[in-house]
Structure formats: structure tokens, C-alpha cells
A and B are shown apart, each in its own frame.
Chain A
């Protein structure tokens, strides 16, 4: 086991949105900056850079994670899904459609993190109570304070999925 000096770049191989990616990164490169700067996946937003605002939330191995609190170097062999990976090539996902229908975005800065967080919630709890939705998004700050419509959109997505099932 060697210690990688600060000046040297590390080779990382991972899967991003189903696509294998290989890149050389500085050890201190955050996953958020890696996605945005190195892979040009700018849907992952960078807000507070210390794990409070939730704007950079992505999926790592199927679980939500703050991309500002992980280093790209740690993700060798892992599977990362970003908002781009949750968005169909053509149009919007059912959850995104509900965000649009409910006017659940104002400036849109928090929206990618909200969608990732809500995707995980609905996968674990397909019919969440309003309280469960509020608790699930409590780690995602909307500085426009548009929470009411975000909660409504997530509830609508759950109801529509339930009606289809």
C-alpha cells in the first residue's frame, strides 16, 4: 500500500450513469467537482460545500450521498448516478413531470438534489405520508422556500405510481 503524494494524480475507474469512466484525479478532488469539472455533468449543483444544503446529492451504489463530502479518489469501482442519469433521454421522468405540474421549482438550484432524494424515498417507501416526505427532504435546503409545492409534487408522484401499479 503506497501513499499517494499530493502532487500526483490517482487513476479512478467508476461507472457514472451506467457509463464506465476512467480519469486521473488529484486526491482532494471532490466527487461534486469531478462530476462538474471533469465530466461536464453540471446538473449536480454545488451549494454549501460542507454537507448542509443537499444540492449536490447523488446516488452512490444506489444510496444517496453528498457529492461534496466524498473524494473522487474514493469512488474507484463504485457506481454513481446523477440527475442526468435519472432524466430520460427524451423528456422528463414521472417524478420530474410532477415537479413541473406542481410548480415545485422556483430558481431550480435545489431541484437536482431534491429529485435524487425523492427518488430514494419513493424507492424505499412508495406511499409516504406527508410527514415522511417532509422528513426525507429535511436535508435539502430550498432557499426560495418553495417546500409546499415540492412536498405536493413528491406526493403526486407517489399517488400516480400507486394508481399505475
Chain B
């Protein structure tokens, strides 16, 4: 279980990293926290000719406020930092909560936000959180910087909108909605979720009272080949006063939005059932938060 030989480069700036990728078109892999890539290297599922180690690229670090109550997070930000950062907890508490569910402490200490997004595991927490938050992901490459909405970034199983000569450099998150919930079911803490549901509800400025389905997003993960908007639930809740009945109807509707895998951990039907239960719970928790619960 040793990786095949590779050439190794450790750039100090984003420009150098992009130049290194351009020198080895299609043959290079970016190494950040390594928590997803290195297992694949060790098992020789991937055998890149070049590893570009971006962990010393300072342009990719930092968490900073962005306009209108939003946040800009550098791609190299470790999960552990997302969990404790006061700025993230204030401006994107959903992201902090999602990061708490990623792997185990030793994984969260090393793994990076950009790495999780670029890897695009369909059962991963952070892609789902950023889709629910309508984040924009910045890709930097030889043609400059472009921003991609989370909804267009995740293209399928381990597949994203990133070109092979681009690096995910930062994420911009708009001001958080007042109502939110992050739920998942995993067999043990730290395992990938069997299924999970994220709900955001209400605009950041004018929370409706009583809680109604406005500025609503319902996102499932582990229930398809990428994080999925559960649009049947979104449609049923749009503009409606949210109570236990509405949440139950929304949960019952999500089965048709999901296309979950069957494996040794659970059947597709079981995962659909989890999506139903979790949607109901998450909608109610988001509504309670919108109404002022902690």
C-alpha cells in the first residue's frame, strides 16, 4: 500500500501552483490536506505523474468578512478551523456545524475545505452545506479567476466544474438565512453519512413571522451522485406556514428527488426513508431557529 512514484513540487504562491499545473497538463494532482487523495494514492487508484503540494500557498488561506454580512473562506482552511472560527460561527453557523460532522478529529485537523469540495464525494457534508448556502466557488487558472455557483459546480460522482488546469482558491458565502438545520445519519461519528439533509429558510434581513417557506433550500446528501436540491419539498413549502403537517408532507415528497445507492451500509429504500425523516426534522428545526430558538 505505497503510492507509485511521483514528481513533487511545493509552490509558495498561487501563480506558481497554476504554472506547475500548466507544465504537466492532465498529469498533475493537487495535494492539500491529503485526507481523500492520499488514500487513493496509497491504493494506487490514482497515479499522477506530479503532485503539486499547495499547503504552503499563503494566497489560499484565511477567513474574511465579505460584503453584506457574507464570508470569504480560503480553500486551504482546515475543517477544524471552520468548526471553531468565531467569524464562521457568526456568519455561516451552518458551515461550522457541517464541518463538525466531517471525519474524526485527526481528519478535521488536516483536511481542507477546498479539498472536500474538489473531491466531491456525494455523501460529503461540506458540498451539501455550500449548495444550501448558495455559495460561489472560485476557480483560479491560466485564464484568470472565475466564480461558479455551488449548484453548477458539482457535476456528478467525484466530478466538478473544475478544469484540470484550475485550482479551487476560495469560497464566497452570502449572509446566512436566519433559519437553518444540518442533519445526518451515520453508523458511527465520523463515518460518511448514510443520508443527510440540510435546510435553510428565511432571508437574513427580514425573518417572516410566523415561519414561512421563503428563501428556502432543501438539500440532500448521500442520496444521489452529488448533493441534490430536494425540489419537491421546496415546492411544497414555498410560501406556506411551516408547522408539523407541512414538514411531514415535505418529507414524504422527497423520495422522488433522490436516487440513492444501495450498498452494504444500507439499501436505496432505507436511504430514501432516512431522507424523508431527516427532511421533516430539518425543516422543523430550521423553522424553530427562524422563530428565534438557538
Contacts and interface: CB of A to CB of B under 8 A. Distances in A.
Given A4-B9, A74-B53, A135-B189, A69 B16 contact: no
Contacts of A50: 1, 38-39, 42-43
B153 to A, nearest CB: 25
A4 B10 CA distance: 9
Contacts, number: 108
A65 B35 CA distance: 10
A106 to B, nearest CB: 20
Contact of B188 (A63, A70, A138): A138
A73 B39 contact: no
Contacts of B20: 1, 3
A28 B110 contact: no
Interface residues of A, number: 39
B50 interface: yes
Given A6-B6, A50-B43, A138-B189, A70 B106 contact: no
Contacts of A1: 9-12, 16, 20
A27 B1 contact: no
A69 B35 contact: yes
Interface residues of B, number: 37
Contact of B34 (A10, A33, A70, A139): A70
Contact of B109 (A48, A49, A64, A134): A64
Contact of B7 (A4, A48, A57, A134): A4
Nearest to A52: B39
B190 A138 contact: yes
Name the residue among A1, A6, A7 with the largest chain B CB count within 10 angstroms: A1
A120 B3 CA distance: 29
A7 B2 CA distance: 15
A27 B41 CA distance: 13
15 contacts: A3-B50, A4-B7, A6-B7, A7-B5, A27-B6, A27-B7, A30-B42, A60-B110, A63-B106, A64-B106, A65-B109, A70-B34, A71-B34, A138-B104, A139-B105
B164 interface: no
A2 interface: yes
A27 B8 contact: yes
A30 B2 CA distance: 8
A28 B5 contact: yes
A121 B189 CA distance: 15
Interface string B3-35: 111111111100010001001000000010011
Contacts of A26: 5
A-B pairs with lowest CB-CB distance, top 4: A139-B104, A27-B8, A6-B5, A50-B39
Interface in B216-256: none
B42 A49 contact: yes
A117 B8 contact: no
Contacts of A57: 106
Given A30-B42, A63-B109, 12 more contacts: A1-B10, A6-B5, A26-B5, A28-B2, A50-B38, A51-B38, A63-B110, A64-B105, A68-B42, A74-B31, A117-B106, A135-B189
